[in-house]
């Protein structure tokens, strides 16, 4: 197991807050929720709850993924936001720096996924018992060796974007689970960032849209 040394500066990056919800920018290397191991208690959720005791997790990002996470303040808003995520009423997009250059300017990956149980938490493509999983991608730039993609997960399976990019033979740089040796060594962290999040505010009915740019390590 890798050592857990989550970043602490900033300790909690609040993008938006009101009486009903929070939108936070999670850094790479920080768990979304506490792990079972006492050494893994530090997390985005536990940090947020120190300042906002009523904050509840609605969805998660992998520890290595950075970007936008919404938390509900109170059980009623939690139910409403959870329903939006389940019904795919939340707009999400990610940025990823991948190995190589995909053919064409856009495409999609439609491959069923299931937990690779002997190697958990890894996931794998399985046509017999995998759950339907769909990712759309757009190429934003490329230097031939690596490419910057916009990824839109239509479904929300665990490690979906990471496994789908590996299946295209364009693994995400710095991915400790799915990148080959060269792609892993090409970045100091997983270059996957939840950049956009959009939904209808469950109390006010207002359309909310948030944009959070990644660090300079995503640039060519």
The pLDDT tens digits for 164-206 are 999 999 999 999 999 999 999 999 999 999 999 999 999 999 9
Asked whether residue 4 is assigned to any structural domain, the reply reads no
Asked whether residue 1 is assigned to any structural domain, the reply reads no
Instruction: Residue 31: give the domain boundaries.
Output: 14-214
Number of domains in the chain: 1
What 3-state DSSP class applies to 64? coil
Distance CA 201, CA 9 (A): 29
- 159 with 111: CB under 8 angstroms? no
Asked whether residue 132 is assigned to any structural domain, the reply reads yes
Asked whether residue 48 is assigned to any structural domain, the reply reads yes
pLDDT reported for residue 217: 84
State percent of the chain over pLDDT 90. 94
Whether residue 1 has pLDDT greater than 80: no
For CA atoms 70, 117, 38, 185, the dihedral sign is: negative
Asked whether residue 2 is assigned to any structural domain, the reply reads no
Of the listed 62, 105, 141, 217, which one is catalytic? 62
What CATH number is associated with residue 176? 3.30.2350.10
CA distances from residue 84 to 37, 41, 171, 176, 219 in whole angstroms, order as listed: 31, 28, 30, 31, 33
Note if 62 is an active site residue: yes
Whether residue 216 has pLDDT greater than 90: no
Asked whether residue 52 is assigned to any structural domain, the reply reads yes
As to burial, measured by CB atoms within 10 angstroms (0-12 exposed, 13-18 middle, 19+ buried), residue 56 is: buried
Statement: the pTM of the whole predicted model exceeds 0.85:
yes
Q: What pLDDT, in 10s, does the model give residues 92-142? A: 999 999 999 999 999 999 999 999 999 999 999 999 999 999 999 999 999
Asked whether residue 130 is assigned to any structural domain, the reply reads yes
193: Cα separation from own chain's centroid = 6
Return the half-sphere exposure (C-beta side, CA atoms, 13 A cut-off) of residue 160: 25
- Mark out the alpha helices in the chain (DSSP H runs): 44-51, 75-86, 160-167, 181-185
Asked whether residue 153 is assigned to any structural domain, the reply reads yes
158: Cα separation from own chain's centroid = 9
């Amino acid at each position: 197991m890798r050592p857990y040394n989550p970043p602490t500066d900033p300790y909690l990056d609040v993008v938006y807050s009101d009486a009903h919800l929070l939108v936070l920018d999670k850094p790479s290397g920080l768990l979304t929720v506490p792990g079972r191991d006492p050494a893994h208690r530090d997390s985005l959720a536990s940090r947020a709850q120190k300042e906002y005791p009523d904050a509840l997790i609605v969805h998660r990002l992998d520890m290595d993924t950075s970007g936008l996470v919404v938390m509900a303040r109170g059980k009623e808003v939690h139910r409403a936001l959870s329903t939006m995520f389940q019904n795919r009423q939340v707009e999400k997009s990610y940025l990823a720096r991948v190995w190589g250059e995909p053919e064409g300017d856009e495409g999609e990956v439609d491959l069923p996924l299931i937990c690779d149980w002997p190697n958990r938490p890894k996931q794998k493509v399985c046509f017999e018992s995998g759950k339907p999983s769909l990712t759309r991608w757009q190429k934003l730039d490329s230097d031939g060796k690596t490419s910057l993609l916009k990824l839109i997960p239509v479904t929300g399976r665990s490690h979906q974007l990471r496994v789908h990019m590996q299946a295209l033979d364009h693994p995400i740089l710095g991915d400790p689970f799915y990148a080959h040796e060269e792609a892993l060594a090409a970045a100091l962290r997983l270059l996957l960032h939840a950049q956009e999040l959009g939904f209808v505010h469950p109390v006010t009915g207002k359309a909310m849209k948030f944009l959070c740019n990644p660090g300079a390590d995503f640039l060519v």
